[in-house]
């Protein structure tokens, strides 16, 4: 009986391992193709391991398009967006849970009613509003239009509700200001939710495509997803350009793979709080 269970365990492990490897096969195939020659890919398409390494694919890709600029654009806009969303959302979530003010219930009702709605509905008016602010084709415009995120407010509000009232009252009677209570007591107590919101925000903003693709025109001002797609389109689906496209894609994807490998356990935990992205 024990033996049967042991064999079953091995079979299960092998099946799951195969499915897991199939899931990461596109990434592995991309990495392998990025260092092959076009001929090798065409002649032995199923051979995964490259015979010779062609790192010039990467230098060619970097010469053909400003990948490093795009990565930098994505990185700084994502960092600023995520930071500002957390900053504003913490303030609003604190007000929603600790203050009495006129319109509080209406405000929460609006947040609750809209946090699952598709952001695409806002694109046309947002585009016009940014146009009036002279922020079309500008990374600042991308940041400004992303300062608000209803989902982050919702997430933090739910989390801040669990802070025991006694702690906040004690701090108040010690003479702490509301500002101090928020940043020195409430936020540290909710660091798991903050971390979750940070990682989800990082992924969705760094990988975002549709909105930045509408907003940004200049090659130099692209974020990585938009730049990569236009690079791949201009290179065309010709067999000879295949390795350089894979090298470009690798440049775009590898930073996330590295972040994921380092922060894997936090990602797995965080993703479960995200149901909807803004």
**Interface positions, 150-169, toward another protein (CB under 8 A):** 150, 153, 165, 169
Given 162, 180, 192, 275, the residue binding another protein (CB under 8 A): 275
Cβ-contact 198, 50 below 8 angstroms: no
Smallest separation (angstroms) from another protein to the CB of 194: 16
Smallest separation (angstroms) from another protein to the CB of 60: 17
Smallest separation (angstroms) from another protein to the CB of 63: 19
- Choose the stretch contacting another protein; rule: CB under 8 A; options: 49-57, 63-71, 142-150, 184-192: 142-150
Report how far residue 186's alpha carbon sits from residue 162's, in angstroms, rounded to the nearest whole number. Answer: 10
Q: Does 245 bind another protein (CB under 8 A)?
A: yes
N residues, the chain: 278
Annotate 156-166 with b (16+ C-beta within 10 A) or e (fewer).
bbebbeebeee
Query: In 3-state terms, what secondary structure has residue 1?
Result: coil
- Alpha carbons within 13 A on the beta-carbon side of 107: 15
Query: In 3-state terms, what secondary structure has residue 188?
Result: helix
Smallest separation (angstroms) from another protein to the CB of 247: 12
- Alpha carbons within 13 A on the beta-carbon side of 179: 0
Q: Does 219 bind another protein (CB under 8 A)?
A: no
Given 54, 62, 69, 88, the residue binding another protein (CB under 8 A): 88
Q: Does 185 bind another protein (CB under 8 A)?
A: no
- Choose the stretch contacting another protein; rule: CB under 8 A; options: 50-58, 64-72, 147-155, 186-194: 147-155
Question: 150 φ, ψ to 5°?
Answer: -65, -35
Given 117, 161, 170, 262, the residue binding another protein (CB under 8 A): 117
Q: Does 9 bind another protein (CB under 8 A)?
A: yes
Q: Does 57 bind another protein (CB under 8 A)?
A: no
Report how far residue 259's alpha carbon sits from residue 75's, in angstroms, rounded to the nearest whole number. Answer: 12
Q: Does 210 bind another protein (CB under 8 A)?
A: yes
Given 1, 3, 4, 45, the residue binding another protein (CB under 8 A): 45
Per-position x/- string for 21-40, each x denoting binding to another protein as judged by CB under 8 A, each - no binding = x-xx-xx-xx--x-------
Q: Does 139 bind another protein (CB under 8 A)?
A: no
Q: Which residues lie closer than 8 Å to 93 by C-beta, 6 or more apart?
A: 153, 156, 157, 159, 160
Report how far residue 145's alpha carbon sits from residue 139's, in angstroms, rounded to the nearest whole number. Answer: 10
**Looking at residue 47, what DSSP letter applies?**
-
């Amino acid at each position: 009986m024990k033996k049967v269970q042991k064999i079953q365990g091995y079979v299960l492990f092998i099946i799951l391992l195969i499915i897991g490897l199939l899931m990461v096969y596109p990434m592995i195939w991309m990495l392998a193709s990025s260092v092959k020659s076009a001929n090798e890919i065409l002649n032995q398409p199923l051979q995964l391991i490259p015979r010779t390494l062609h790192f010039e694919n990467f230098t060619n890709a970097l010469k053909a398009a400003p990948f490093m600029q795009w990565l930098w654009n994505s990185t700084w806009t994502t960092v600023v967006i995520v930071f500002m969303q957390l900053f504003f959302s913490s303030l609003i979530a604190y007000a929603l849970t600790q203050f009495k003010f006129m319109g509080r219930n209406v405000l929460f009702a609006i947040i609750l009613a809209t946090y699952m709605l598709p952001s695409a509905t806002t694109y046309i008016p947002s585009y016009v509003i940014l146009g009036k602010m002279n922020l079309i084709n500008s990374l600042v415009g991308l940041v400004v239009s992303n300062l608000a995120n209803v989902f982050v407010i919702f997430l933090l509000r739910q989390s801040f509700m669990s802070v025991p009232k006694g702690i906040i009252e004690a701090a108040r009677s010690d003479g702490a200001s509301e500002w101090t209570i928020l940043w020195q007591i409430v936020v540290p107590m909710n660091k798991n939710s903050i971390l979750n919101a940070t990682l989800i925000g990082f992924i969705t903003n760094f990988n975002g495509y549709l909105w930045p693709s509408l907003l940004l025109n200049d090659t130099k001002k692209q974020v990585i997803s938009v730049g990569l797609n236009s690079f791949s389109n201009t290179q065309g689906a010709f067999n000879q350009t295949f390795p350089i496209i894979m090298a470009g894609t690798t440049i775009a994807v590898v930073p996330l793979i590295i972040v994921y490998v380092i922060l894997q356990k936090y990602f797995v935990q965080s993703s479960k709080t995200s149901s909807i992205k803004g």
